Chain A
Amino acid sequence: MLDTRWHKILADLWKNRTRTLIVALAIAVGVYAVGVVVNARTILVREYESDQVGALPASAVIQTYPFDDDLAEGVARLPGIASAEGRTLVHTLVYDESGTPRDLVLVALPEPDKMQVDAVTPLGGRWPPGRREIVLERLSPGYLGVRVGHPMKVELDSGVVKALVVAGTAHDAQKPSPGITGTSFGYISVETLESLGLPTTYNELRIRVTEDAGDEDHILSVVEEVEAYLKRAGRPILGRSVITESLAAPFIDTVVLILTTFGLVILVLSGFLVVNAMSSLITQQIPHIGVMKLVGARRGQIVSLYLGTILVYGLLAIGAAIPLSLLTARLLMTAMVNNLLNVMPESYTVPATLLLVQAGVGVLLPLLAGLEPVLRGTRTTTQQAMDASGLGTGGYGRGWVDRLIVPLERLRQMQRPVLLAVRNTLRHKGRLAQTLLVLTLGTALFISVISARVSVTSTLESFLQFHRYDVAVDLSRAERAARIGPTAEQASGVTEVEVWSVSGATRLRPGDSESDSFALYAVPADTTFMSPEVLRGVWLAEAGGVTNPIVVNRELLDAEPDLQIGSDIELAIEGRQAAWRIVGVVPAESRGAAAYVRLEDYAYGTRTVGQGSRLVARTTQQDAAAQEEAATRLSEALRNAGIEVKATQTTETVGAENSLLFTIVVSFLILMALLLAAVGGLGLATTMSINVMERVREIGVLRAVGASNSAVSRLVVAEGIVIGLISWLAGAAISLLISPALSSQLGLALINAPLDYRYSWIAALGWFFAVQAVAVVASLGPAQSAVRLTVREVLAYE
Chain B
Amino acid sequence: MSEPGNTLIGLRSVTKAYRTPAGPLFALQGVDLQVRRGEFVAVVGKSGAGKSTLINMITGIDRPTSGAVEVGDRLIHQMSEDEVAAWRGRHVGVVFQFFQLLPMLSCAQNVMLPMDFAGLYRSPRERRHRALHLLDSVGLREHADKLPSEVSGGQRQRVAIARALANDPMLVAADEPTGNLDSRTANDVFEVFSQLVEEGKTILMVTHDRELAARTSRIVHLADGAVVEPEELQDETSGTDR
Contacts and interface: CB of A to CB of B under 8 A. Distances in A.
Contacts of A15: 103-104
B71 to A, nearest CB: 14
Nearest to A12: B104
B82 A294 contact: no
A1 B113 contact: no
A5 B88 contact: no
B166 A295 contact: yes
A297 B61 contact: no
Given A4-B127, A299-B81, A383-B56, A292 B86 contact: no
A296 B104 CA distance: 19
Contacts of A301: 117
A160 B90 CA distance: 101
A294 B61 contact: yes
Given A383-B56, A386-B61, A296 B112 contact: no
Interface in B123-156: 123-125, 127-128
Nearest to B103: A15
Contacts of A290: 100
A403 interface: no
A591 interface: no
Given A4-B112, A4-B116, A294-B94, A381 B81 contact: yes
A790 to B, nearest CB: 14
Given A383-B56, A386-B61, A295 B114 contact: yes
Interface string B72-96: 0000000001100110111000101
Contact of B82 (A2, A298, A386): A298
B17 interface: no
B98 interface: yes
B216 interface: no
B228 interface: no
B223 to A, nearest CB: 21
B105 A296 contact: no
Residue among B60, B102, B123 with most chain A CB within 10 A:
B102
A296 to B, nearest CB: 1
B117 A292 contact: yes
B117 A297 contact: yes
Contacts of A300: 82
Contact of A291 (B100, B115, B128): B100
Nearest to A13: B104
Nearest to B180: A796
Given A294-B61, A294-B88, A294-B94, A3 B81 contact: no
B209 interface: no
B116 A3 contact: yes
Contacts of B163: 295
A298 B102 contact: no
Contacts of B89: 295-297
Given A1-B124, A382-B85, A296 B117 contact: yes
Contacts of B220: none
Contacts of B114: 295-296
Nearest to B114: A295
Contacts of B196: none
Contacts of A381: 61, 81
A102 interface: no
Given A12-B104, A15-B104, A297 B56 contact: no
B31 interface: no
A535 B118 CA distance: 80
B75 to A, nearest CB: 18
Interface in A280-335: 288, 290-301
Contacts of B100: 290-291, 294, 386
Contact of B117 (A1, A288, A298): A298
Given A1-B128, A296-B167, A796-B98, A7 B61 contact: no
A383 B84 CA distance: 12
Given A12-B104, A291-B102, A4 B113 contact: yes
A297 B109 contact: no
A298 B85 contact: yes
B62 interface: yes
B11 to A, nearest CB: 17
Looking at chain B's contact residues, the main secondary structure is helix
Contacts, number: 87
A696 to B, nearest CB: 14
Interface in B193-229: none
A796 B101 CA distance: 15
A797 interface: yes
A797 B117 contact: no
A707 interface: no
A536 interface: no
A296 B86 contact: yes
A698 B98 CA distance: 19
A299 B112 CA distance: 18
A434 to B, nearest CB: 28
B172 to A, nearest CB: 13
A718 to B, nearest CB: 30
A469 to B, nearest CB: 74
Residue among B60, B109, B113 with most chain A CB within 10 A:
B113
Nearest to A7: B109
Contacts of A293: 81, 85
A15 B101 CA distance: 16
Given A4-B112, A299-B82, A11 B125 contact: no
A607 interface: no
Nearest to A288: B102
A483 interface: no
A649 to B, nearest CB: 70
Nearest to A295: B114
A77 interface: no
Contacts of A2: 124
Contacts of A5: 113, 116
A295 B162 CA distance: 12
Given A297-B89, A298-B82, A383-B56, A292 B113 contact: yes
A218 interface: no
Interface in A1-40: 1-5, 7-8, 11-12, 15
A8 B86 CA distance: 19
A386 B60 CA distance: 13
Contact of A296 (B88, B123, B124): B88
Nearest to B81: A381
Contacts of B61: 294, 381-383, 386
A88 B5 CA distance: 111
Contacts of B166: 295
Contact of A8 (B85, B94, B96, B105): B105
B117 to A, nearest CB: 4
A612 B85 CA distance: 96
Nearest to B128: A1
Contacts of B118: 296
A391 B169 CA distance: 34
Contacts of A11: 104-105
Nearest to A11: B104
Contacts of B81: 293, 299, 381-382
A785 B151 CA distance: 23
Interface string B148-184: 0000000000000001001100000000000000000
A290 B81 CA distance: 12
Contacts of B94: 294-295
A303 to B, nearest CB: 11
A8 B112 CA distance: 12
A297 B163 CA distance: 14
Nearest to B84: A382
Nearest to B106: A7
Nearest to A796: B98
6 A-B pairs with least C-beta separation: A296-B89, A11-B104, A295-B114, A1-B124, A297-B117, A296-B117
Given A295-B89, A386-B100, 11 more contacts: A1-B128, A8-B105, A8-B113, A293-B81, A294-B88, A296-B88, A297-B85, A297-B89, A382-B85, A383-B62, A386-B96
8 contacts: A4-B109, A4-B113, A8-B102, A291-B102, A295-B88, A295-B89, A296-B167, A300-B82
